Amino acid sequence: SKATHYSAQYQKISNQITFRAEIFYKKYEDLIKTYAVNSQQIANGNNGYGDAKGFELFWRDKKTIKNVDYWISYSYLDTKRDYLNYPYAIQPSFAAKHTASLIVKKFVTKWKTGFNGAYNFATGRPYYFIANNIQTGKTEFTDMGKTIDYHNVSFSLNFLPQLGKQGAKMFAVYVLSVSNIFNFDQVYGY
């Protein structure tokens, strides 16, 4: 298999702000394909192909809100592959078209405690019914739709009791973390 990647990136880092933008194109050649020959045998070859194109944005800011560090990221991905038992080039079931996250952190020195929150999002991923019919030699294919969108809100605290103590050689860190606070249904695939 062969992958060729082309990307262009712009990044600006100042004292407390980071901005990064990237565009990309990826070409895949000689991907493995599988075919059912009969009930006992599977043949394969390297005539699969595909591509991926998209962009990513990242913004981190420690300046605008006093004593708060936050960052936002967003990715757009348009990808199709004809590999494994796919009948033609389609969006792989592991690829989400849109993903985004927001992370917020605040450390309170007086309390020796960090407060962290995150929101993660991804659009639903496609899923398919693909079966090789051994009798006819044809592939049966049905686009079954997409999973529901992924949402996750999480929160964590980290407490550093030795912070600021003279002679402290090691730091104990206590962490409390809760994921999926709002109990969203999460579907990763079918």
DSSP letter, residue 109: G
| Token pair listed for 124 | 């639903």
Interatomic CA distance for residues 119 and 90, integer angstroms = 29
Residue 87: the pLDDT is 86
**DSSP state string for 78-129:** EEEEE-BT-SS-B--TT--SEEEEEEEEEEEGGGTEEEEEEEEEEPPPEEEE
Please tell me the least confidently modeled range out of 107-121, 128-142, 172-186: 128-142
Residue 44's DSSP bridge partners are: 34
The residue with greater pLDDT, 167 or 50, is 50
Render pLDDT for 74-127 as a digit per residue (tens, 0 to 9): 999 999 999 988 889 999 999 999 999 999 999 998 898 999 999 999 999 999
- Using a pLDDT cut of 90, give the percent of the chain over it: 62
